[in-house]
Structure 1
Amino acid sequence: MPRPVVVITDTEELDPEPGVALLTEAGFDVKVVGSRDPEAIAGAARDADALIVGYARIDAALLDRMPRLRILATMSAGYDMIDTVEAARRGLWVTNLPGSATEEVAVHALASALALTRRLPQADAVVRAGGWNTDFTEVPRRASEMTLGLFGFGRIARALARLAAPVFGRVVAHDPHTADWPTGVERVDLDTLVASADVLSLHTASTSQTRGIVDAALLARTRPGAVLVNVSRGDLVDPAALLAALDSGRLAGAALDVFPVEPPAADDPLRSHPRLLLSPHSAFLSDASLRAYATEPARNVIAWWTTGLPHTPVVVPETVPASAASPRHTQGASA
């Protein structure tokens, strides 16, 4: 009997070997493409039973070229790189990694928020230019008198709320899709969130409803001198509107770990604005998360092959009894 085939698409900075070792030991034939190129993926995966996906876009045209495929396992919490509607129509499993870097992203968001509120980028620039505290004209506000606003209240936002509660005076959140609400976090509508947040941190999926939602109109409703943190999806924010809000002083600063185009072009004004704190889509990064991103998709595939059910499905074939798996979803994961 031929060995089942697993193809790993793009791995970026991840070392796929821990996952490859698990799959090989479990009896799989593993191919690592190391590319987002659909031609390269289709060429390697024409006989694949399972596809482990980094950032590569998996659409209907590419699925047509992988007729044996039965499961797609992402190496991230998000899965908007996969056409989940088409995957569901074809009876394919889709899995994600909902908790592998929750702590890392929450800590990164908090660190970014604190760096902005304490004006650390500006303080750093003063010292590097030869100045000292009399040259530092920024006057930070006391954090315990500030409000942290969370746009989206999934796993990462909840972790951030727990971390931030002892630091900020008030934590508010908006998420129309979440029913379970913990004590200590005020549930508010979007207008109230935007108007009351001194720090507005984004934790929502990229969907047709949320893409570009942080636009000029929304930024005009923010508190003067507020700061924005985005560790979620780059296309949530209109970059021109963000730059205008920074230039006008409406926003005192912003921290971006994600961008509409990654990496941003060398001449992208986001790279050079003095009130932007930038990181290279690295909020997820730690020694522990790197291991998990390599091994957990492999464990999903192995569980599916050996038991019929992967650990963390987000799309479930219609033929699987509802009692045996999580309900099917067809949207990107809430951050």
Structure 2
Amino acid sequence: MARILLTHPAEVRMKYYGERALAGLRALAEVQLNEGPDALSTDALIEAARGVDVIIADRLTAGPAELFMGVPTLKAVLRCAVDIRNIDVASASVAGVLVTRASPGFVQSVVELALGYMVDLSRGISRATAVYHAGEVQPEAIMGRQLFGSTLGIIGYGSIGRALAPLAAMLGMAVLIADPYATISDARFKQVSFEDLLAESDYVVCLAVATEETEDLIGAGALGRMKPSAFFINLSRGNLVDEAALTAALMEGSIAGAALDVGRARDQMPSTELAHLPNVIATPHIGGLTPPAIEHQALDTVAQLAALLAGEIPQGAVNPDHWTRRV
């Protein structure tokens, strides 16, 4: 029977993997768990993986070259996430180890958070609530804005952007999209340059993929093109934003506010320096943290394991041509 290492720490496992998926793994293989409170370091991971055939990895557990060289029994690393940037796929390929990623089951969850952000930024819901919680009897009633009639700019027309755009249009928003790798055929939306999107949008939602090309995409120059009344929303990755430039723009009032679910702190969370600003709504990387979204990716790894054990190439495989260490 194949041996599996599930790297999710105990508390994380309950929230980000779940009993249904764990039962599915146990029906297929002998499962070894990370019973510690933290993500495994490289040395700890190599030690825990001795004699293991497959690692199912949480998003904080890295897969460096040392892992593939140090665990000769390892046949595959199945990532319970879409992001595999801290997996050394090139080294895995050299060693003949298969690497997979989960499919994005969090699309609707992230889209709903984006809509919630836009409403909150426009109407000051969380700000007013905080004032009441602080004990004020009669907080100031601040004039808000409505989404209807405003303009939404979406940077990156991937699965989340494609789901968000029609909902925004249904709310009566004009929708602009900037993505040099996509062609927009839907007449409800207008494809524009990155610069024009920044200049014309009331809400700028960053959904582009984190790559070397998009590193610090939102810097001083980009923020300087936005309207002083505009809001910036980041639901992609913290790597796309120059945090010093965003902090300056928010403090100087060159943009009206921001909502951030990601940043450059641990586990891609927003930094405390940005999160404490009064015109910022910050959440600790909860975009995909709903039961359907989490279970989708966990069950994806179960299906991938079943395919792998049957000698098939699982969906989500990123280096199938280099898979020589077969189970």
Distance apart, 1:79 and its partner CA = 2.0
- The corresponding residue for 2:136 is 130
- The corresponding residue for 1:29 is 30
Per-residue CA distance 1:231-271 (angstroms, 9 max, x = gap):
21122212221111111112211111112012699993223
Q: Alpha carbons of 1:209 and 1:227: their partners in 2 closer, same or farther (altered >3 Å)?
A: same
| 1:92–1:317 contact (8 Å) kept in structure 2 | no
Per-residue CA distance 1:140-184 (angstroms, 9 max, x = gap):
333122111111111111111122221242111122223464342
| 1:52–1:74 contact (8 Å) kept in structure 2 | yes
| 2:156–2:178 contact (8 Å) kept in structure 1 | yes
Q: Alpha carbons of 1:149 and 1:90: their partners in 2 closer, same or farther (altered >3 Å)?
A: farther
Q: 2:67 aligns with which of 59, 62, 70?
A: 62
Q: Secondary structure at the residue paired with 2:148?
A: helix
CA distance in 1, matches of 2:316, 2:177: 26
Q: Is 1:20 matched up with 2:18?
A: no
Letter of the structure 2 residue corresponding to residue 29 of structure 1:
E
CA distance in 2, matches of 1:263, 1:304: 29
| 1:126–1:136 contact (8 Å) kept in structure 2 | no
CA distance in 1, matches of 2:305, 2:79: 10
CA distance in 2, matches of 1:77, 1:29: 25
Q: Percent identity?
A: 28
Distance apart, 1:107 and its partner CA = 0.9
Q: Secondary structure at the residue paired with 1:314?
A: coil
Q: Secondary structure at the residue paired with 1:317?
A: helix
Q: Alpha carbons of 1:84 and 1:168: their partners in 2 closer, same or farther (altered >3 Å)?
A: farther
- The corresponding residue for 2:244 is 240
Distance apart, 1:124 and its partner CA = 2.8
Q: 1:81 aligns with which of 73, 82, 86?
A: 86
Q: Secondary structure at the residue paired with 1:51?
A: strand
Q: Alpha carbons of 1:220 and 1:286: their partners in 2 closer, same or farther (altered >3 Å)?
A: same
Per-residue CA distance 1:26-85 (angstroms, 9 max, x = gap):
2x1211225232122111113222221112121222222222323222112222222233
After TM superposition, the runs of 4+ consecutive aligned structure 1 residues lying more than 6 A away are 263-267
Per-residue CA distance 1:285-313 (angstroms, 9 max, x = gap):
11222322322212112112214121223
Q: Secondary structure at the residue paired with 1:301?
A: helix
Q: Alpha carbons of 1:283 and 1:47: their partners in 2 closer, same or farther (altered >3 Å)?
A: same
Q: 1:110 aligns with which of 107, 115, 120?
A: 115
CA distance in 2, matches of 1:182, 1:48: 48
CA distance in 1, matches of 2:271, 2:154: 31
Q: Secondary structure at the residue paired with 1:298?
A: helix
Q: 1:281 aligns with which of 264, 285, 291?
A: 285
CA distance in 2, matches of 1:317, 1:266: 37
| 1:215–1:238 contact (8 Å) kept in structure 2 | yes
Q: Alpha carbons of 1:21 and 1:126: their partners in 2 closer, same or farther (altered >3 Å)?
A: closer
Q: 1:255 aligns with which of 235, 252, 259?
A: 259
CA distance in 1, matches of 2:167, 2:76: 35
| 1:126–1:132 contact (8 Å) kept in structure 2 | no
Mean Cα displacement is larger for which, 16-25 or 175-184? 175-184
CA distance in 2, matches of 1:57, 1:249: 39
- The corresponding residue for 1:147 is 151
Letter of the structure 1 residue corresponding to residue 171 of structure 2:
V
Unaligned runs of 5+ in 1: 321-335
Q: Is 1:5 matched up with 2:3?
A: yes
CA distance in 1, matches of 2:163, 2:231: 20
Letter of the structure 2 residue corresponding to residue 74 of structure 1:
R
| 1:8–1:51 contact (8 Å) kept in structure 2 | yes
Letter of the structure 1 residue corresponding to residue 146 of structure 2:
R
Distance apart, 1:132 and its partner CA = 4.1
CA RMSD between the two structures: 2.5
Q: TM-score scaled to structure 2, two decimals?
A: 0.87
Letter of the structure 2 residue corresponding to residue 268 of structure 1:
T
Unaligned runs of 5+ in 2: none
Q: Secondary structure at the residue paired with 2:5?
A: strand
Letter of the structure 1 residue corresponding to residue 8 of structure 2:
D
Distance apart, 1:102 and its partner CA = 1.2
- The corresponding residue for 1:175 is 179
Q: TM-score scaled to structure 1, two decimals?
A: 0.85
Letter of the structure 1 residue corresponding to residue 6 of structure 2:
I
Q: Alpha carbons of 1:76 and 1:186: their partners in 2 closer, same or farther (altered >3 Å)?
A: same
